[in-house]
Structure 1
Amino acid sequence: MVEMATQADTAARARAPLSRERVLGAAIALADEGGVDALSMRKIAQALGVVPMALYKHVANKNELLDGMVDVLVGEIDPPAAGPDWKAVIRLRVLSARRMLLRHPWAAGVIESRMKARTAPTPAVMEYLDSMIGIFRAGGFSIDLVHHAMHVMGSRLLGFSQELFQEAAGSEPDPDAMPPEEMAARYPHLTELAMAVAHDEESVVGPGCDDQFEFEFALDLTLDGLERLRGVS
């Protein structure tokens, strides 16, 4: 009986039109089940009831598949809540990102690896970063303070800030990169921040960042916060 039901499910999947969304959804489900290292086009095709070659009409290769999966996951993060309290809005957004990462334990490693491999973040990641910067700016932060705040947030912003302005090692300029004027129109907050930071090519945090300053800024901010909490405990 179970075998008949499984066959019926496979047949139903095969009849449904194949799409990029279905391919990415199946890939994420398989990664949730067995980890991203075990993911393959063959397994995705089997889960969808199609031949592996059919997948390549929707994702050109494994890297494009992973980029698409990252964008789907970032899309699971709640949009910014309405309201003037920047701290509450940031807190809710970051907690939503944490819930997404807990649902998909493999995601953090894939996001980090794809950020390092690409010359620029994917569109969904760019939109996420732009909105986070926009929340700080609307809250009255100077662009310099936003820059440091993004570093302090660090992994709590999915680890994106560290590679925000960092090109992949040995990478060539992307011929398909978005023109600067289009980038500025689509991601105004991200562009403002990228243009404002000073450049330090030796930085391990990323070009444009003073490692020692960022380290001490985060340390002092943490110690100040602990001191404030100590005073009310």
Structure 2
Amino acid sequence: MKTLVVGTGAREHAIVRGLAADPQVEAVLAAPGNPGIAQIADCRPVDANDGDAVAALAQEVGADLVVIGPEAPLVAGVADAVRAAGIDTFGPSAEAARLEGSKSFAKDVMNAANVPTAGAHTCTDLDAVAAALDAFGAPHVVKDDGLAAGKGVVVTDERDEALAHAKACLDAGSTVVIEEYLDGPEVSLFCITDGTSVVPLQPAQDFKRVGDDDAGPNTGGMGAYSPLEWAPP
């Protein structure tokens, strides 16, 4: 099997390493990849968010399977374009990727499905933001509704800081989600599904914020680790 991995990050590097170690995989290509990935895979230049370009490259190299790592190409519908070209693809459709691409949409889905989730208000102006901050009280949780590379959330006791982040998101053309603060350890449980069956992977925990005691701003998820020896089965 010949595989093409789409993306530039550490996630894609790990996927490439895993595929390269699989005896069923005869070749691994990456697009566009990064210098680390280039040490173990053939990297090809492409705009990862351009579905037609990715599909054309997959056809050109004769890929049997395309694996799309980052959120932005998935939200942009790259998986749909590659599937339309008749190539097996690992990654959700643009419709399904809305769960990642819009926090307010994800909240609507969770509420409709009775999935327990923090209370939230979706705001399109600063007056609504201010009212939502006052309704929940501190600590304030302010989220850019769209993709922000893991850096779109501010958690703060300072109302002015919360308002400033919300204003920056609104000024950039995004809506803002003000969320109820939940305290406690975070666990991420990743699952793979084909729409019918669900296979859970190893849980992970993420310490997103720079510095001890959550002292700084969010990173893109540099503090993730697994396995979680403390977590109950």
TM-score, normalised to structure 2, is 0.30
**Structure (1/2) with the larger strand percentage:** 2
**TM-score, normalisation: structure 1:** 0.30
Bigger radius of gyration: 1
